[in-house]
Every structure is written in structure tokens, then in C-alpha cells.
Chain A
Amino acid sequence: NAGVTQTPKFRVLKTGQSMTLLCAQDMNHEYMYWYRQDPGMGLRLIHYSVGEGTTAKGEVPDGYNVSRLKKQNFLLGLESAAPSQTSVYFCASRHLATRQGDYGYTFGSGTRLTVV
């Protein structure tokens, strides 16, 4: 099925370990995003990309890095995981809007990360 695929779905890390979350979309979307969701705080933007080879910081970028080497993939890296990074991570993508009437994101199913 077309859409946004996130891997892995669950992961437990020890403090200081590194890992990469993969987001892949097959809808030819230009924009891709990484959010984290924490109880009582909604979704907060970590990093985003407006096209292949470009990335930008969002609201909470510290401790994360991203890369978009291919249009369909957006990788989120944690170089040295901390317990504060325990969260549910969502990837999302959308087309470049050509008029006001766009229809929002397509979300992945989320990755539940626990850092112990």
C-alpha cells in the first residue's frame, strides 16, 4: 500500500547508544518531517526537509540529526541516546502545496523508542 513506512516500530536503547530511524514514502512527496509525541505536549517538530539534500531544524532539534539523500527517504539519527528522548516518533510527508487547499500530512505509524 502507498504511504509512509517507519522502521523500526519499537526499540529499546541504553543511554549513550546510537540508532537511526528510517522513514520511507512512495508518494513522491517533496516535504518530509520528523515529530516526537510526548504525553500532554502534542506533536513537536524535530527536523524537516523540503527536498532531496536539504534539511532544517524544527522546534526541538537538539540531540538529533537527519539526512535526506534520496527523495523518498528521511532518516532520523540519535548519536548518543538520553532518557529524555524516550518518546513516540512520527514521520510525515506531504506534497508541495500549489494552492491553499492542501490536505495535510500523511503520517507513518510511529516508532516507540525507550531509552533506559
Chain B
Amino acid sequence: AQKITQTQPGMFVQEKEAVTLDCTYDTSDPSYGLFWYKQPSSGEMIFLIYQGSYDQQNATEGRYSLNFQKARKSANLVISASQLGDSAMYFCAMREMGTGNQFYFGTGTSLTVIP
């Protein structure tokens, strides 16, 4: 079974609008971390935001927020006030604290911001 599922291969959003990128995960470990990374066309992987499974509040980092719904096992990334520079691939990832040694990545969502 897939550990991380991203069902949106591609998304479009108008500049200055908000967009939600979906991510669901599968784990039986009660302690885990969820991450989002951005990969622009230049290729580097940029860490955006982190959510721990025991965190009571949704994580926020500037224009990024993580909509964490533990019972549904979803960890959607919300980007507010989209900018042209947000056009990139976005990867959701999870690390299970029990095994601890590797991250599981989704297949990514390609976001295009339209001027």
C-alpha cells in the first residue's frame, strides 16, 4: 500500500488566490511527522512545512499552512495569496518515528500559477 498519496498530478491557480494541495497518508505508527517540499524547475528540494502527529494545532509558515486532519489521515497544504514563484512541483512526505530512518514521498503535484 502507498504510504503517501497525492491524487492531483497537476493544479492551476490564479495569482493571488489560495490553493489546496491534497495529501493522504497511511501508517499504524502513532508517532509520525508530515512534511511538504517544493521543487521548482531548477530542481532543488526546498523544505516548506512540518506537522507532528501529536501537534494540537495546524502548522503554519508564512503563506503556507498544513490542514491536518488526523482521523482522515490527511495533511493538505494550503498556499494563500499565490504568487508566480509558487509554480513548482510539491511533494508530501512522511517519517514514521518507530522506524525513523527514511521518509516516504508522494508522487507530487505540479502547481502552475496563472497571472
Please give the residue numbers on chain A whose beta carbons come within 8 Å of chain B beta carbons, in ascending order. 31, 33, 35, 40-45, 48, 50, 56, 58, 88, 90, 92, 97, 100-107, 109-110, 112
Contact = CB atoms under 8 A, between A and B. Distances in A.
B1 to A, nearest CB: 14
Contacts of B54: 100
A99 to B, nearest CB: 9
Interface residues of B, number: 26
A57 to B, nearest CB: 11
Interface of B: 4, 9, 31, 33, 35, 37, 43-45, 47, 50, 52-54, 91, 93, 95, 97, 100-103, 105-108
Given A42-B91, A42-B106, A42-B108, A103 B101 contact: no
Contacts of B107: 40-42
